[in-house]
A and B are shown apart, each in its own frame.
Chain A
Amino acid sequence: MPPVKSINDFVVKFANVNGSGSASANEMFARSILRMGVPVTSRNIFPSNIQGLPTWYEVRVSGKGWLGRRGGVDLMVAMNPQTWDKDIASIDPGGYLFYDSSRPIPLSKFRDDITIVRMPLTEISNAAYKDPRQRQLFKNIIYVGALAQLLGIELAVLEQLIGEQYKGKDALIAPNQQALRMGHDYARDHLAGICGLKIERANEVGDRIFVSGNDAAGLGCVYGGATVAAWYPITPSTSVAEAFAKHCRKYRTDPQTGKNKFAIVQSEDEISAIGTVIGAGWNGARSFTATSGPGISLMQEFLGLAYFAEIPAVIIDVQRGGPSTGMPTRTQQSDLMICAYASHGDTKHVLLLPEDPRELFEFSALSFDLAERLQTPVFVLEDLDIGMNDWLCEPFAWDDRRCFDRGKVMTAEELEAGKTFGRYLDVDGDAIPYRTLPGTHPSKGAYFTRGTSRDRFAKYSEEGAVYQDNMQRLLRKFETAKSLVPAPVVRRAKERAKNGVIYFGSTSPAMNEAFAALEADGIHLDTLRLRAFPFSDAVLDFINTHDQIFLVEQNRDAQMRSLLVNELGIDPARFISILHYDGTPITARFIIAAIAERIGLKSKEAAE
């Protein structure tokens, strides 16, 4: 097997030990390629652990700009003896193994169909540094320097990144740059010409940014006007609350008084968190919580209350592998059903399905408008893949003419003028009633909020007709939601396509790549990307105008298929599910193989 030769199109995987300080070095490596104008996508594969267990960082370099996980490894940077065998086995034939050769490793532990790149990292680091922690940290920088030389990444780019990273801690710049050079020079002197993988300067990145979804969600909540956040730590959503706090400190602290235009409560559990969000929403503040599947399970009772009592609330759900504790550090799209129909009794909830950090920023901000307009909980369903990885996406933008939609809140002036107030009265025909905020008017507009059945004027009633009247209005309100939530995005194949694909969320980059590859192979499929629940009529049109629909999801039970079948009354046989749920992000290879197999079967059937 000849060594792989490739320019700007390969996968580098780092195998490290959790807590060894490798994360920032690896990220710097990825960023340096971006600065060379070459698109990359990176993924953290990490355990539920603080120190000691294996962790991986995967960088896909794609000059063509494909941002999904590719699968396979061309260059393995094997820094973790614990996972050696598995890591060596995962390298594609013809690929490269870069490892720390300070300690001898038996020949039987290698493969003969890959190129071995040996570098005595520990020896080099130990010779240069005395402090054990420094030895560890600089070892990471040394290998980044060596990789830069092997792959042709300009040293000046990395030196600048170091300068930016340690801005304000200037004492750290010189030693890091020195370690970088140490690695670079060793590779230049001992490993020249060994690696067939190269980075060549390009201009394919443009003004795109490299950002994680949870950071984007936290910022989106600032832009959406959230003033109250209540949350309970849970992977992979914790960094949403942390990002919100970070951005609030920057943007929401009064420069004169130092006072905060926000309140963040770390609640005692997820039940309390959603209770606080609902209390704040009831009282007219934009509020949200961030959680993951187990938290959604705990919040069920309160979510039913917010639905029935019609209280705005935003829930950012960073989905992870379920059920139960499941795979807490792996990704899935498996909270669709529990969010769409959260709580006992008949309920339906609005879901937003962002495809990347950029859309997550927008949807997080938008969710507050929707929650207040519709007076109901709104779920922003992202996942670990979007949330905890840096994605290359369009820069964030904001239209300064945009105003918050605070929904139907009756003011003291309107009450004073004698406007009829019925808390659950449909005045405008859109099934959205008016609400009043506590403390508005001395003698008008007060009402009692409750989770029990009540009439249009908020008076307690268990009469069947009164109850049904209210439940029917809630259904009509959900119809109204269809016209307010983000519309699906349809993409037409080059040639007229009989069949279609429906997908959503973090499947986007893999699907984009699969679409192009299938087109190139003459398999033409129209695609529809769902961006919200409830489904608009465009979704039904798309399904009705295609013979078969491939439905791509990252869960075991085809939950989106259940939602589509249930809500749109579609014959289940119209859907062919493509399900990827092993906890890793879905790949284009997986989608292409699944679709090609089905199309192949079909053409075979047709031929017979």
Chain B
Amino acid sequence: MTYIAKPKLRHPGIAMNKLGFTHRDYEGSVSTLCAGCGHDSISFAIIQACFELNIEPHRVAKLSGIGCSSKTPDYLLGQSHGFNSVHGRMPSVLTGANLANRDLLYLGVSGDGDSASIGLGQFVHCVRRGVNMVYITENNGVYGLTKGQFSATADKGSKSKAGGSNMDSPLDLVSMALMVGATFVGRSFSGDKEQMVPLIMAAMSHPGPAFIDIVSPCVAFNNHAGSTKAYDFVRAHNEAVNRLDIVEPREAIKVEYAPGTTEDVALHDGSTLRLAKLAADYDPFDRIGAMNYLQSRAAKGELVTGLIYMDASASDMHANLNTVPVPLNRLSEKELCPGSKGLEAFNAAHR
């Protein structure tokens, strides 16, 4: 948490997006995380994604639980309302916020301590309920604020800084999200901005529960030899199955790929997702196949990253609940209260 506001100086040549916002308009307070923390790179990627997507900052609500990752919403989108709730319970708060106003973009930022232990129940239930959100876990396999205990996503055999080995089996949030019905699932690495930004953009354009697990090394407690969440280890074992690019209508394609290796997918907001296949046999629209692929690669010690799964025809909780299109928090007594007339029949039926 910080109370340090950034100075409001602006370079005259700074780039603006279509709404006239600069990158700066999407930033928040100065980060108080450790220098080199992967979480700050993720914050930057979120800021970049919002800038690129021309999102009005105040139309985002950012929610988090407790932990290093949960502090980060303070460091981005300073014009958005934020809610730092209680440990592991952000998903339920986000669910309620989303029910109250379906028109905002809900960004849930969490970590492995917050979402894979105390919050595991809320995480899966929020996903299976189909809440329209972007849920990001900043996954470092370790409890940072309490100085280096293993988290539930730490791999079996991974070494702690103090020298101990983790003997418990790891929880894989990506597999869980797939199993319980997330309609957009990605995994990335905080050291790979090119992969993160379009992935977050695609998730933000997705009209259903979107989950991205981002491995984000903890430079203070989990970046040593023997840790499977260290920068070096993740770089060596990262297997990206695809590359994404968000293509706006009628705009030049930014990256050229060999013919036959790309696929264009129309996104909800009218833009197109260009998918470059890196693993020829990987199909991100096949949920069962994705689950199999993840397990087989994980058994070989590889970390599959990229767009893991997407259901382009997804819907959300509001569709399931058949709610009115106008946000519920905007309805007045005229629309909500049946008045004295409504009581006449009730009273008569109870005599």
A contact set with B: CB distance below 8 Å? 34-35, 207-211, 219, 222-225, 227-228, 230, 251-252, 254, 257-265, 267-269, 271-285, 287, 301-302, 305, 395-400, 402-404, 436-443, 446-452, 459-461
Contact = CB atoms under 8 A, between A and B. Distances in A.
Given A260-B321, A461-B3, A395 B89 contact: no
A58 to B, nearest CB: 20
29 contacts: A209-B350, A223-B342, A251-B342, A263-B99, A263-B328, A268-B121, A271-B92, A271-B122, A272-B89, A272-B95, A272-B122, A276-B96, A279-B85, A279-B95, A279-B98, A283-B61, A285-B100, A287-B100, A302-B89, A305-B86, A395-B347, A398-B337, A439-B101, A446-B79, A448-B81, A448-B82, A451-B85, A451-B86, A461-B3
Nearest to A399: B340
Interface residues of B, number: 61
B19 to A, nearest CB: 10
Interface of B: 1-3, 56-59, 61, 63, 73-74, 78-86, 89, 91-101, 103-104, 121-122, 125, 129, 318, 321-325, 328-329, 331-333, 335-340, 342-343, 346-347, 350-351
Contacts of B73: 448
A68 B331 CA distance: 40
Contact of A438 (B78, B80, B93, B338): B80
- Which 10 A-B pairs give the minimum distances between C-beta atoms? A279-B96, A275-B92, A285-B100, A438-B81, A284-B329, A283-B100, A280-B96, A279-B93, A276-B96, A209-B350
Give the one of A276, A395, A399 with max B CB within 10 A.
A276
A162 to B, nearest CB: 16
Contacts of A398: 337, 339-340, 342-343
A274 B92 CA distance: 8
A343 to B, nearest CB: 10
Contact of A278 (B2, B84, B93): B93
B3 A460 contact: yes
A579 B141 CA distance: 54
Contacts of B91: 272, 275
B82 A279 contact: no
The listed residue with most B CB atoms (<10 A of its CB), out of A35, A210, A224, A398, is: A398
Contact of B331 (A222, A261, A397): A261
Contact of A279 (B92, B336, B338): B92
B185 to A, nearest CB: 21
A448 B75 CA distance: 11
Contacts of B328: 227-228, 261-263, 280, 285
Contact of A301 (B82, B86, B103): B86
Contacts of B346: 219, 396
Nearest to B124: A268
B78 A282 contact: no
Contacts of A263: 99, 318, 321, 323, 328
Given A279-B83, A441-B58, 12 more contacts: A207-B351, A251-B342, A261-B328, A263-B328, A271-B92, A276-B96, A284-B329, A285-B100, A287-B96, A305-B86, A443-B79, A451-B84
B101 A285 contact: yes
Contact of A228 (B99, B338, B339): B99
B96 A439 contact: no
A446 B81 CA distance: 5
Nearest to B350: A209
A224 to B, nearest CB: 8
A443 B99 contact: no
Contact of A265 (B56, B58, B83, B129): B129
Contacts of A225: 331, 333, 336-337
A2 B346 CA distance: 44
Q: Among A269, A280, A452, which residue has the most Cβ atoms of chain B within 10 A?
A: A280
B347 A209 contact: yes
A452 B1 contact: yes
Contacts of A210: 350-351
B58 A446 contact: yes
B63 to A, nearest CB: 8
Contacts of B101: 283-285, 437-439
A396 B343 contact: yes
A278 B96 contact: yes
